[in-house]
A and B are shown apart, each in its own frame.
Chain A
Amino acid sequence: MHIVIFEDYLAGELRPVTLARAAFAISMCGTNLYNLIKGEGFEISYIVRDYLREICKQEFPNKPLEKKKDLVFINASLPPIYSIFQRILDKTGKGKAFIAQTDSRISAAFFPELDFDLAKFNENSLTNFLQRQEYEFLEDKFPLINYPFDIIRYNKLYFKENIKHLMRNYKKFSEGVFVGKNVKIHPTACLDTEEGEIIIDDGTYIAPFVYLRGPLYIGRNCRIIERTSIKDMSHIGHNCKVGGEVECTIMEPYSNKQHHGFLGHSWVGSWVNMGAGTSSSDLKNTYGEVTIEYQGKKIPTGMQFLGCIIGDYSKTAINTSIFTGKIIGVASYVYGFVTTNVPSFCNYARTFGQITEHYLSSAVRTQKRMFARRNVKQTRMHIKLLEDIYEITRDERIISTEALSF
């Protein structure tokens, strides 16, 4: 059996989360969809948006497909949860073709011995092709990530059970604590596993007086700074530096939050740097449901706790305060109070009456400097990615409710 992970026509709408990554690379619950499936020993091919193909290949091998294989199609927006994936696999047992649909999206499908040429399809054409085949509909409705806040929702919902599945790949350090190779944990660190297990991956350093409360996942080569507190269903991607207080938050790889400040119920993209004192609110004064503004509409999230979404390559200045449920785009620099959503490629200092465009050339220069500090070589591919995102998000800056001053 071969797995085809496919982005559908809505994957790109999960802005800013999927602007710089495939939907299957969204981290949560200790893994991402690609790695979860790979960890189960399956061969994987995938369909992603054109501009992401090259960069995806660096991290996620795309296996060529043999003709007439039994194919399981998994929507890239499916949360990377072992129990959900297993439920889909169980349905293939009867050997009959099926499609499972959630709302109007195909969440999973199975076609035995399907003659399928991966190269012919993209995120817009695959679902139509599948719907033209012979199949039956499944009653099952598998969850899909429809909005950025769904990442926080599903992370919280499934973290505990997923970490129990993942911990088998690590060695036991102490009761409820599972570690990879070369992990250094200072003896003064407090690891609280009363509510769930903690996984600390290869090469990570936990500094003195750190407080970790499970369930929790800390990725490879991270540095958790002195007196940091990371709690409750947080997922820290590889090569992150973390300080201050972090709760129920996902940080994608290579991001920094080195200093004091609170980050809760939030999602932070890669190559983000958060200045000292940056804090996000994840609860309204009214204790009411958080509503987000998304594509010009107010969307009730159904969540009482929701922090912020920060796109890749964005930076926050010292003492930045991000209001509840705000979304910051890719490669934007924010200062002061963030009381509204921030489009991609913006200098946002609304408190001081200034919102200007953050020029692409400046973003490229910053990318190079930041990469250098982590021994990553900036290539044409990385620059092209920023250029593509700049073009894709051009509309955001035009339809922004704030006039851009130049």
Chain B
Amino acid sequence: MCGIVGYTGFRDSAEILLKGLKCLEYRGYDSWGFSFITKNGLVSIKNAGRISEINNLSGDFPKGVTTGIAHTRWATHGEPSQTNAHPHFDCSFKIAVVHNGIIENYSELRKELEEKGHIFRSETDTEVIPHLLEDFYRKTKDMVYAIEQTMTRVAGTFGLGIICCDEPNVVYGARRGSPLVIGIGEGEMFLSSDVNALVVHTRRVIYLDDDEIVKLTPRSFEISSLERQRLEKEIHTIPFDAIFLKKDGYPHFMLKEIFEQPQSLHNTFRGRLDHKRATTKLGGIELTYSELLSIKSIKLIGCGTSWHAALVGKYLFEELAHIPTEVDYASEFRYRDPILSKDTLVVAISQSGETADTLAAVREAKKKKAKVLGVCNVVGSSIAKECGRGIYLHAGPEIGVASTKAFTSQLLALTLFAILLGRLKNLSRREGLIALNAIEALPSQVERILKKADQIEEIAEHTWKYRNFLFTGRGYQFPIALEGALKLKEISYVHAEGMPAAELKHGPIALIDENMPTVALATESHILDKVKSNIAEIKARKGKIISIVTEANHEMDALSDFKFTVPPTLHFLAPILTVVPLQLLAYYVAVRRGCDVDKPRNLAKSVTVE
């Protein structure tokens, strides 16, 4: 949930670290901090607040210092404050540490270290690390050894950046469960939680794996395992430009990413449609046709928006591929002793590929011999690597905390996989072709929706003052009702609930009055008549209806106070279209309410803590 950056080279490290932190702010933004190695020892600057509010380096920042580490925080242990902001230090201020993750056994370690005489200055879990390092380093003066020993003592997840005054041009990194990337420059080296902070400087990167340690000097990098083995790692070239990380004239990243969906969807299916065979090609799934045919059940796991994508996935796999499918919150899955076998395929869905609960669930599934497959956006992410097979979304970097384009790409990626499985089993060639053709039409259809964004803005103008919202849908639209409600909650701080339209009469309809507007997802399907009846029940109780319907279908006209149309498509692709107006509604309501859309309170982009 935090972002870390490290640098050693020939340039002024303060500027590079500041720029890097700003790129990582989506990972956490309640406090920030820097440490540099100067001739006079460590110099540190840290504070509560957002790094984006720092426009220029103040006089406190050292000039011309070429090695340092920095951190932007999403608080887990201890309130956001200057004291709790990273970096944290050993007793003698020789070692500085920035940390992304959670140390689960920090209480015991802290007690033990305090008994030994270590003085703690913060309430954080992180602070045990510099003190442990201090103990081990004192004995050998070997920082790699100290890190190894520290790693054997701590339980939990971490991506670490470490500097020590004794080695003025060295930055150390280590990871377990939290992402860490090395950037290789010319005469300079970088360390970061993700590639966003690196791409302006270099496209050559190495992804560290769990229990690996790296020592960076301006001209070298040495990666070793916990067993002191030197490791040769593959150097990846990052394909996208740093320019993508700018807002391009949009007021917020979220809006930019909503408008990028025609392109991101296109990127998700590009090269993956096989018209000749009326199926899809997914190179990364690494399963033979026989293995795919042997799948008897599918478990979809995810958190938050990815869990909603998983719910749509359940409908997809059961309808198109006739494979019984269950959906689990990753956080529940890992602790409930799920029944898995070698014929079970566990599909882990995560935009960042770093979601701690999902990663842990993947490991649990692997332990139980199930096949695992990742659906991730970030190439080389922990989940992608842990699974060893998967489907990349290719949606491009998503910076807005509220997921938009990654969600639609997740839906599409799951659809592509369901078609592949379906065509091996029960889906006819004709049905395959119809699906492929409808997929190809999605970008222009989303563009058609986006051209009418002003209609949603107008609806938001009439509805932003409501304190409660209801979202309803049936079938494939039920998960979209949940997603629409989540979007509104997370960026507008408006209470919203999503539910299947037919469930209203089993209780929640009691909430309906003129102060409770309902967003009704009522696109063309075999159950539209039933949805209509459910909406009529709301209308009869004076609830305002905002309906999302299919173009040229007027069945909902009489029931709707506001109506927004989406182009006709196959019922199982409709969620990709209907969620777009809901994203826009959440956005415009949030803007109208004066909320910080890209950095909603209490949230961070990737949840790398449990």
Chain A contacts to B: CB under 8 angstroms: 8-10, 13, 101, 103-104, 124, 127-128, 131-132, 136-139, 294-297
Contacts and interface: CB of A to CB of B under 8 A. Distances in A.
B430 A296 contact: no
Contacts of A295: 428-430
Interface in B429-443: 429-430, 433-434, 436-438, 440-441
B54 interface: no
A34 B434 CA distance: 25
Given A10-B433, A124-B275, A131-B445, A104 B570 contact: yes
Given A13-B433, A104-B568, A137-B568, 12 more contacts: A9-B275, A10-B434, A13-B430, A104-B434, A104-B437, A104-B570, A127-B441, A131-B441, A131-B567, A136-B551, A136-B552, A295-B430
A355 to B, nearest CB: 21
Nearest to A139: B552
A251 B567 CA distance: 40
16 contacts: A9-B433, A13-B430, A101-B568, A103-B434, A104-B437, A104-B569, A124-B275, A127-B441, A131-B445, A137-B567, A138-B552, A139-B554, A294-B428, A295-B428, A297-B426, A297-B428
Interface of B: 275, 426, 428-430, 433-434, 436-438, 440-441, 444-445, 447, 551-554, 567-570
Given A104-B570, A131-B445, A295-B429, A9 B552 contact: no
B438 A104 contact: yes
Contacts of B444: 128, 131-132
A10 B444 CA distance: 20
A124 B444 CA distance: 15
Nearest to A140: B552
B443 to A, nearest CB: 9
Contact of B552 (A124, A132, A137, A297): A137
A128 B429 contact: no
Best-surrounded residue of A104, A124, A137, A296 (most CB of chain B within 10 A): A104
A137 B434 CA distance: 19
Contacts of B438: 104
A255 B428 CA distance: 31
Nearest to B438: A104
B148 to A, nearest CB: 57
A101 B436 CA distance: 17
Nearest to B276: A395
Contacts of A137: 551-552, 567-568
Contacts of B554: 139
A136 B552 CA distance: 8
Contacts of A294: 428, 430
- Is chain A's binding surface mostly helix, strand, loop or mixed? loop
A376 to B, nearest CB: 33
Contacts of B552: 136-139
A151 B434 CA distance: 20
A4 to B, nearest CB: 19
Contacts of B436: 9
A17 B196 CA distance: 55
A101 B445 CA distance: 14
9 shortest interchain CB distances as A-B pairs: A295-B428, A137-B552, A137-B551, A132-B444, A139-B552, A13-B430, A131-B444, A297-B428, A295-B429
Contacts of B429: 13, 295
A139 to B, nearest CB: 5
B590 to A, nearest CB: 30
A32 B569 CA distance: 29
Contacts of A138: 552
Nearest to A135: B448
A8 B440 CA distance: 14
Contacts of A128: 440-441, 444
Contacts of B447: 132
A8 to B, nearest CB: 8
B346 to A, nearest CB: 29
A296 B428 contact: yes
Contacts of B433: 9-10, 13
A297 B444 CA distance: 32
Contacts of A8: 437
A296 B429 CA distance: 9
Given A104-B437, A104-B438, A137-B552, A10 B430 contact: yes
A20 to B, nearest CB: 19
Nearest to B552: A137
Contacts of B553: 139
A12 B550 CA distance: 29
Contacts of B445: 131
Nearest to B433: A9
A343 B567 CA distance: 38
Nearest to B435: A104
A295 B434 CA distance: 14
Nearest to A101: B568
A38 B486 CA distance: 56
A127 B275 CA distance: 15
Nearest to A294: B428
A23 to B, nearest CB: 14
Given A137-B552, A138-B552, A127 B437 contact: yes
Nearest to B554: A139
Best-surrounded residue of A13, A103, A128, A296 (most CB of chain B within 10 A): A13
A132 B438 CA distance: 13
Best-surrounded residue of B426, B429, B554, B570 (most CB of chain A within 10 A): B429
Contacts of B434: 10, 103-104
A296 B567 CA distance: 31
B324 to A, nearest CB: 20
A174 B568 CA distance: 50
Contacts of B569: 104
A128 B266 CA distance: 13
Contact of B437 (A9, A136, A139, A296): A9
Nearest to B571: A104
Contacts of B437: 8-9, 104, 124, 127
A131 to B, nearest CB: 5
A24 to B, nearest CB: 19
A295 B432 CA distance: 11
A127 B440 CA distance: 10
Nearest to A132: B444
A309 B286 CA distance: 41
A181 B501 CA distance: 66
B322 to A, nearest CB: 12
A343 B429 CA distance: 15
Contacts of A132: 444, 447
Nearest to B432: A295
A124 B552 CA distance: 25
A277 B167 CA distance: 99
Nearest to B426: A297
A124 B433 CA distance: 10
A136 B452 CA distance: 13
Contacts of A13: 429-430, 433
Best-surrounded residue of B434, B552, B553 (most CB of chain A within 10 A): B552
Contacts of B441: 127-128, 131
A9 B431 CA distance: 12
A91 to B, nearest CB: 12
A296 B433 CA distance: 15
A241 to B, nearest CB: 34
A127 to B, nearest CB: 7
A8 B445 CA distance: 18
A138 B554 CA distance: 11
Nearest to B277: A395
A299 to B, nearest CB: 9
Contacts of A136: 551-552
B429 to A, nearest CB: 5
A371 B275 CA distance: 35
A186 B440 CA distance: 58
A104 B430 CA distance: 12
A10 B438 CA distance: 12
Contacts of B570: 104
B435 to A, nearest CB: 9
A47 to B, nearest CB: 15
